[in-house]
């Protein structure tokens, strides 16, 4: 049978080429087309066929089992075996075979229903298989298939046109989380944007995930550990997070910990699948979480549950503050010499032993030059100093005698605004419940806060995060295994950066997508229309001042002309109703979408380039939640004419150089953040490939393996054979400095090294003039913004049946839901509006409207609605999803653009305005059925 | 050329086989290898005389005359807009498993190919359930039937495959294509194909019933 099959290899190519007319008449002519020997066809049959079941009797076998995962940003990084037969992926299976850390449960098996569905989804009708060019009006939906040659030629020409006319900064190359988790793909893109100088609106703050409050307090945003740390904890506050839905492969750690005696307390306004399994569910009103946190702070302080030795050493709580100016007492306050020396970062403690102000150890460090770690050169060890936490004293300054007190004293005053009783009025949570969870948390040792990125998506989310860190610090819960704020960690990406900058140095324009949208979409206008002129003018004045002071860069001054969207579905979810789409996106001269599946971004593009899906490409994945490097190995070639990201970037760069040569494009000089960069597109391809050394994505992967500390050194082939390998520095449930993930905070705690904050401590008091002006020197609670006349707050969260918009349209997944976008509503709110379960709803506010099915749930508080996100606008009436009512894109909080203050000032992927999505209200009514 | 001694004595089968080969080429992407016939009319006229049932290809024959080099760009663009690209994916899935209701049929298609020893070239394996390839499979089965001593196996396979994989799918395509802004060239090709498949299935059912009874 095998022999015969081999001989019968079918050459599908017809006998003559396309477009060549066949002069044929009758059967004789048509006979040219018959490609099989009838005799062979007949002899291939080794047993009779009588009914269709006969073909199903043989065991289904595989030609190959590849190692892979899904290069999507769910943080799962789940090792899968991918089963291939006849060039088709038929199924996948969890690889399992994970180890554990210490005495915690192991990490495997890992996977979820999305991953186990991908073998079908990748062949779905939503796939983009060929380069497409728009032939109708933008958004009209008329396309033609074009060749890669044509597409890349035309795109490269437009690229050069814009660069020659407006400069490279007028072109954006947005990269989303789909790209960023695939390290080799991202490295290739990073190298391209570094060579060309186009603007990269970064997505971390752009999707509202940037924990600026964490950065403000700790000088780092990456503070998370492995998921197994949960098992080490004795009390876990699962706050604004729903891991039973969003962390399916890791949720078991919570429940195993619970059965091991850990108290798992879920804090969310809606009753979630996580709350269902928790020890306790606490449901504050939406947006009041910081009041709850501050009330817990109040209880911890008033019931003497504070870990004093810890905060004296690790935090700024014992630092002295002038009561007259509300500013820290600095050395420059004390002598003219220090003033001239600008010793504005040397701070004081009140030493109880000597009863005098003394310089706080470890302060006074200057900002490090790039690549230098200042923490290696000093210590925060108090030595013989015993800092006072409470009290008021008088010190001599250049202004005369002034009264000073401690940050801790000021914190006590602030906490008095949030007694459990007062907080109860704000949050709706009983004072006794507040006290009890505060006691449980403080007495557990260790305790942690497992927070979702929802904590970053409020305009005052920074205050909430600062409250989180404060709770942890007061109880000594940053450092020990099983403690800490579990919100984010990331690879150190040294290998990635080494690849991006190799031979050319850094010359990249990276800007917060929030800033970019604010300027390119005129979002001040949106704020003015929705929240009023006063707020719009006030906050815009701060924005402009920050730019003027050079605290933050301003890119795209000549406007936004051309946009590339790769690794994201950029038009899916924007917090500006239709404004971003209408005023920025759709007005671009050229839009190029590089996507595996169709979605709304592609819908408006001029060119859609097909990118390979998860099982059709090679790459390397690092996700900090598990201590493993995971490989993506191509199980099958890319479907249709799709290509992996590296190849697309590679081929585009090649075309760019070709067209630059043919058009005799001149070398130009480009100023990036004051650095003069010579750009020669004619050489772009040679630079990109390192003069031909980098030929395909496996070369990039190998480069990253070789240059990234913490990844065991081996070849791509060796790694592909096993699928995953444990990273170095992962003996504990948190990472140490040998790991490829961030561990700086642990080093500060355990080795007493200065933090990378102005005060070199966990810094809870920010005496920047803008923070003082807005009363945000300390963690506190501020009411979220609302839209007058609209009573309902819409909450959102990641969905069980999709990762962002990926898999959200899968037909099987839809059968597990209601088959179309639905919005959870409180039954009483619904009845008051004459709405029944399943009705079509119009959800609206002054920003816009969208339609979705009413989904009754008693788990939703009155006065709120809840919608799982990721539904692409294409799935809604009028192609308008929930973005229609989200009006927060112009809300750039002034303090998020503060600068000239130690660690505060523009730091890409660390300190920048965060796009927020929560500070609005809406209403709903029954709509006509659709 | 067909060199089997049975060929001349089985002109009906040869004609049916030729129609499947013809449609396999006609429904293939114009962007891939694709054969255009200078005079499909005369080809079809020759074939239909030998088909075991009456069928009217007039509309198709008329429309295919428009498939000139000059018109070809429009025809190709229309194909892409129908079957290859679109806002939610192409409006009409040309791969069987890309139809949500038919998505589980792919395994059966592959098992049929394997059972009868039909192989798809490496570069098209990912789309082995493309309509063009599935039609070519029927053509392949016809060829097997031409010389096999077990003609019933090949006929039954044709009948089952057409019934299980084409009828519902082609009905759907024909329904959709008429609602879209399709070039008439494609409307007529798919209309003629659907009619042919229905007729051929009817004939195969009768034939196989007779053959089964004869065994």
Beta carbons of A55 and B154 less than 8 Å apart = no
Contact B189, B60 (CB under 8 A): yes
pLDDT digits over A495-533, tens only? Answer: 999 999 999 999 999 998 999 999 999 999 999 999 999
Is pLDDT at A574 greater than 90 in this prediction? no
pLDDT digits over A908-917, tens only? Answer: 899 999 999 9
pLDDT digits over A397-421, tens only? Answer: 999 999 999 999 999 999 999 999 9
Is pLDDT at A671 greater than 70 in this prediction? yes
Is pLDDT at B33 greater than 90 in this prediction? no
- Decide which of A3 and A807 is more confident: A807
Report the percent of chain A where pLDDT is more than 90.
84
Cα separation, B43 vs A702, whole angstroms: 57
pLDDT digits over A239-266, tens only? Answer: 999 999 999 999 999 999 999 999 999 9
Beta carbons of A126 and B88 less than 8 Å apart = yes
Query: What pTM was estimated for this model as a whole?
Result: 0.93
Q: Does B136 touch chain A (CB under 8 A)?
A: yes
Rounded to an integer, the average pLDDT of B164-181 is: 94
How many CA within 13 A on the CB side of residue A578? Answer: 13
Question: Taking CB atoms and an 8 Å cutoff, what residues of chain B touch A145?
Answer: 31, 80, 84-85
Contact A560, A170 (CB under 8 A): yes
- Decide which of A136 and A764 is more confident: A764
Is residue A44 situated within a structural domain? Answer: yes
In this prediction, residue A254 carries a pLDDT of 98
In this prediction, residue A21 carries a pLDDT of 34
In this prediction, residue A6 carries a pLDDT of 28
Cα separation, A149 vs A452, whole angstroms: 44
Is residue A786 situated within a structural domain? Answer: no
Q: Which of B13, B83, B87, B111 to mutate to test the interface with A (most CBs of A within 10 A)?
A: B87
- Decide which of B46 and A173 is more confident: A173
Is pLDDT at B4 greater than 70 in this prediction? no
- Decide which of A563 and B73 is more confident: A563
Give the DSSP H or E segment for A451: strand A447-451
CATH of B11-214, one of 3.30.1150.10, 3.30.590.10, 1.10.3480.10, 1.10.287.470: 1.10.3480.10
- Decide which of B171 and A339 is more confident: B171
Q: What is the mean pLDDT of chain A?
A: 92
In this prediction, residue A373 carries a pLDDT of 57
- Looking at this predicted complex, what is its ipTM? 0.92
In this prediction, residue A4 carries a pLDDT of 27
Beta carbons of A31 and B111 less than 8 Å apart = no
Q: Considering only the beta carbons, identify the residue of A36, A143, A608 that sits closest to B80.
A: A143
Domain boundaries, chain B: 11-214
Contact A715, A701 (CB under 8 A): no
Q: Does B203 touch chain A (CB under 8 A)?
A: no
Contact A608, A593 (CB under 8 A): yes
In this prediction, residue A32 carries a pLDDT of 38
Beta carbons of B114 and A58 less than 8 Å apart = yes
* From A12-16, A72-76, A179-183, A646-650, the region with the lowest mean pLDDT: A12-16
In this prediction, residue A365 carries a pLDDT of 76
- For the ranges A19-28, A702-711, B55-64, the maximum mean pLDDT occurs at A702-711
Domain total for chain A?
1
Partnered with residue A628 across adjacent β-strands are A726
Separation in Å, CA of B171 to nearest CA in chain A: 18
Separation in Å, CA of A567 to nearest CA in chain B: 18
Separation in Å, CA of A710 to nearest CA in chain B: 38
Is residue A6 situated within a structural domain? Answer: yes
In this prediction, residue A813 carries a pLDDT of 93
Is residue A20 situated within a structural domain? Answer: yes
pLDDT digits over A473-486, tens only? Answer: 999 999 999 999 99
- A589 C-beta neighbours (distance < 10 Å), count: 17
Rounded to an integer, the average pLDDT of A527-541 is: 97
Partnered with residue A267 across adjacent β-strands are A239, A282
Nearest to A69 by CA among A594, A616, A496: A616
- Decide which of B68 and A896 is more confident: A896
Question: Taking CB atoms and an 8 Å cutoff, what residues of chain A touch B131?
Answer: none
pLDDT band at B37 (very low <50, low <70, confident <90, very high): low
- Decide which of A368 and A211 is more confident: A211
Q: Does B154 touch chain A (CB under 8 A)?
A: yes
**What ranges make up the beta strands (E) of A36-141?**
64-68, 80-85, 88-94, 132-134
pLDDT digits over A284-332, tens only? Answer: 999 999 999 999 999 999 999 999 999 999 999 999 999 999 999 999 9
Contact A136, A166 (CB under 8 A): no
Q: Does B83 touch chain A (CB under 8 A)?
A: no
Beta carbons of B127 and A127 less than 8 Å apart = no
Here the tokens at position A338 are 């220090």
pLDDT band at A567 (very low <50, low <70, confident <90, very high): confident
Residue of A nearest to B35 (CA): A18
pLDDT digits over B39-79, tens only? Answer: 677 778 888 899 999 999 988 888 877 777 788 889 999 99
Is residue A23 situated within a structural domain? Answer: yes
Both ends of chain B: CA-CA distance in Å?
A: 32
pLDDT band at A44 (very low <50, low <70, confident <90, very high): low
Rounded to an integer, the average pLDDT of A215-226 is: 95
In this prediction, residue A199 carries a pLDDT of 95
In this prediction, residue A25 carries a pLDDT of 34
Is residue A211 situated within a structural domain? Answer: no
pLDDT digits over A825-862, tens only? Answer: 999 999 999 999 999 999 999 999 999 999 999 999 99
- Decide which of A179 and A252 is more confident: A252
Cα separation, A85 vs B201, whole angstroms: 30
In this prediction, residue A14 carries a pLDDT of 33
pLDDT band at A15 (very low <50, low <70, confident <90, very high): very low
The SS3 assignment for A591 reads strand
Rounded to an integer, the average pLDDT of A710-731 is: 97
In this prediction, residue B8 carries a pLDDT of 47
Cα separation, A851 vs A835, whole angstroms: 13
CA quadruple A404, A408, A411, A413: dihedral sign: negative
Which residues form the domain of A7? 2-56
């Amino acid at each position: 049978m095998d022999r015969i099959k081999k001989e019968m290899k079918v050459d599908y190519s017809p006998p003559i080429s396309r477009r060549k007319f066949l002069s044929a008449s009758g059967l004789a002519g048509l006979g040219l087309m018959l490609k099989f020997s009838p005799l062979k066809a007949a002899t291939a049959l080794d047993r009779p066929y009588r009914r269709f079941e006969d073909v199903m009797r043989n065991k289904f076998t595989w030609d190959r089992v590849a190692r892979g995962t899904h290069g999507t940003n769910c943080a799962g990084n789940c090792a899968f075996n991918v089963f291939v037969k006849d060039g088709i992926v038929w199924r996948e299976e969890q690889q399992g075979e994970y180890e554990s850390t210490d005495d915690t449960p192991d990490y495997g098996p890992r996977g979820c229903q999305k991953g186990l569905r991908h073998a079908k989804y990748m062949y779905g009708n939503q796939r983009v298989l060929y380069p497409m060019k728009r032939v109708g009006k933008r958004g009209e939906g008329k396309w033609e298939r074009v060749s890669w040659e044509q597409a890349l030629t035309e795109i490269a020409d437009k690229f050069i046109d814009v660069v020659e006319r407006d400069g490279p900064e007028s072109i954006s190359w947005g990269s989303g989380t789909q790209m960023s988790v695939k390290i080799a793909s991202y490295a290739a893109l990073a190298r391209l944007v570094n060579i060309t100088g186009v603007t990269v609106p970064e997505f971390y703050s752009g999707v509202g995930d940037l924990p600026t409050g964490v950065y403000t307090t700790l000088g780092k945003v990456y503070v998370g550990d492995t998921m197994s740390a949960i098992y080490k904890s004795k009390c876990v506050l699962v706050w604004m997070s729903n891991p039973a839905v969003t962390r399916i492969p890791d949720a078991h750690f919570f429940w195993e910990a619970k059965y091991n005696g850990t108290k798992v307390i879920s804090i969310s306004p809606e009753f979630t699948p996580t709350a269902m399994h928790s020890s306790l569910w606490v449901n504050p009103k939406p947006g009041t979480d910081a009041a709850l946190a501050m009330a817990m702070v109040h209880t911890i302080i008033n019931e003497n549950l504070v870990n004093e030795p810890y905060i004296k050493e690790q935090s700024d709580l014992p630092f002295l503050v002038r009561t007259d100016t509300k500013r820290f007492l600095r050395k420059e306050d004390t002598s003219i010499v220090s003033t001239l020396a600008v010793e504005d970062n040397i701070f004081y403690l009140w030493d109880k032993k000597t009863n005098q102000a003394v310089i706080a150890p470890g302060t006074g460090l200057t900002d490090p030059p790039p690549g230098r770690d200042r923490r290696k050169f000093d210590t925060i060890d108090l030595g013989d100093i015993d800092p006072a936490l409470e009290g008021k004293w008088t010190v001599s300054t250049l202004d005369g005698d002034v009264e000073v007190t401690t940050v801790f004293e000021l914190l006590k005053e602030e906490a008095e605004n949030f007694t459990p009783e007062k907080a109860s009025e704000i949050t709706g949570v009983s004072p006794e419940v507040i006290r009890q969870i505060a006691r449980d948390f403080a007495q557990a040792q260790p305790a942690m806060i497992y927070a979702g990125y929802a904590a970053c998506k409020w305009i005052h989310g920074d205050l909430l995060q600062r409250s989180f860190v404060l709770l942890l610090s007061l109880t000594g819960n940053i450092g020990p295994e099983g403690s800490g704020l579990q919100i984010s960690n990331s690879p150190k990406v040294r290998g990635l950066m080494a690849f991006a900058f190799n031979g050319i140095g850094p010359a990249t324009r990276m800007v917060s997508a929030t800033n970019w949208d604010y300027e390119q979409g005129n979002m001040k206008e949106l704020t003015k229309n929705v929240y009023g002129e006063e707020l719009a003018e006030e906050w815009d004045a701060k924005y402009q001042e920050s730019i003027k002071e050079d605290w933050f860069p301003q890119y795209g001054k000549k406007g936004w002309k051309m946009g590339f969207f790769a690794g994201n579905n950029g038009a899916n979810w924007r917090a500006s109703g239709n404004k971003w789409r209408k005023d920025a996106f759709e007005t671009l001269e050229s839009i190029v979408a590089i996507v595996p599946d169709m979605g709304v971004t592609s819908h408006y593009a001029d060119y859609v380039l097909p990118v390979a899906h998860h099982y059709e490409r090679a790459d390397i994945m690092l996700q900090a939640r598990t201590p493993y490097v995971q490989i993506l190995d191509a199980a099958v070639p890319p479907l249709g004419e799709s290509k992996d990201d590296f190849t697309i970037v590679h081929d585009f760069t090649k075309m760019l150089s070709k067209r630059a040569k043919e058009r005799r494009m001149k070398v130009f000089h480009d100023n990036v953040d004051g650095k003069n960069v010579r750009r020669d597109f004619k050489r772009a391809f040679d630079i990109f490939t390192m003069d031909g050394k980098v030929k395909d994505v496996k070369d990039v992967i190998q480069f990253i393996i070789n240059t990234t500390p913490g990844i065991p050194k081996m070849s791509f082939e060796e790694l592909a054979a096993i699928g995953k390998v444990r990273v170095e520095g992962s003996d504990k449930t948190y990472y140490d400095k040998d790991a490829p993930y961030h561990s700086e905070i642990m080093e500060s705690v355990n080795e007493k090294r200065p933090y990378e904050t102005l005060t070199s401590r966990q810094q809870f008091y920010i005496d920047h003039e803008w923070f003082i002006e807005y009363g945000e020197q300390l963690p506190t609670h501020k009411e979220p913004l609302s839209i007058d006349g609209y009573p309902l707050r819409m909450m959102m969260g990641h969905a069980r049946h999709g990762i962002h918009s990926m898999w959200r349209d899968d037909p099987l997944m839809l059968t597990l839901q209601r088959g179309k976008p639905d919005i959870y509503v409180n039954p009483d709110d619904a009845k008051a509006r004459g709405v029944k379960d399943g009705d079509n709803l119009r959800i609206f506010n002054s920003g816009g409207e969208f339609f979705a099915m009413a989904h009754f749930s008693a788990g939703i508080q009155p006065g709120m609605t809840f919608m799982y996100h990721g539904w692409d606008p294409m799935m809604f009436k009028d192609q308008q999803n929930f973005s229609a009512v989200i009006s927060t894109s112009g809300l750039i909080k002034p303090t998020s653009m503060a600068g000239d203050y130690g660690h505060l000032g523009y730091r890409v992927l660390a300190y920048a305005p965060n796009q927020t999505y929560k500070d609005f209200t809406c209403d709903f009514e029954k709509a006509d059925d659709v | 050329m067909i060199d089997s001694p049975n060929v001349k004595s089985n002109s009906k089968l040869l004609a049916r086989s030729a129609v499947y080969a013809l449609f396999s080429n006609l429904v293939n992407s114009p962007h891939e290898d694709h054969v255009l016939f200078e005079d499909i009319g005369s080809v079809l006229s020759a074939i239909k005389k030998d088909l075991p049932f009456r069928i009217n290809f007039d509309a198709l024959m008329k429309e295919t005359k428009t498939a000139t080099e000059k018109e070809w760009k429009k025809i190709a663009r229309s194909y892409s807009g129908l079957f290859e690209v679109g806002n939610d994916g192409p409006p009409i899935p040309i791969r069987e498993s890309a139809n949500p209701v038919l998505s589980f049929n792919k395994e059966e298609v592959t098992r049929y190919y394997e059972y009868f020893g039909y192989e798809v070239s490496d570069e098209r394996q990912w789309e082995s359930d493309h309509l063009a390839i599935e039609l070519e499979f029927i053509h392949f089965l016809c060829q097997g039937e031409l010389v096999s001593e077990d003609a019933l196996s090949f006929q039954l396979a044709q009948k089952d495959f057409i019934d299980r994989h084409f009828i519902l799918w082609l009905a759907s395509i024909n329904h959709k294509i008429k609602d879209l802004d399709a070039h008439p060239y494609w409307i007529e090709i798919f209309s003629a194909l659907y009619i042919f498949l229905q007729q051929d299935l009817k004939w195969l059912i009768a034939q196989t019933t007779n053959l089964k009874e004869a065994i």
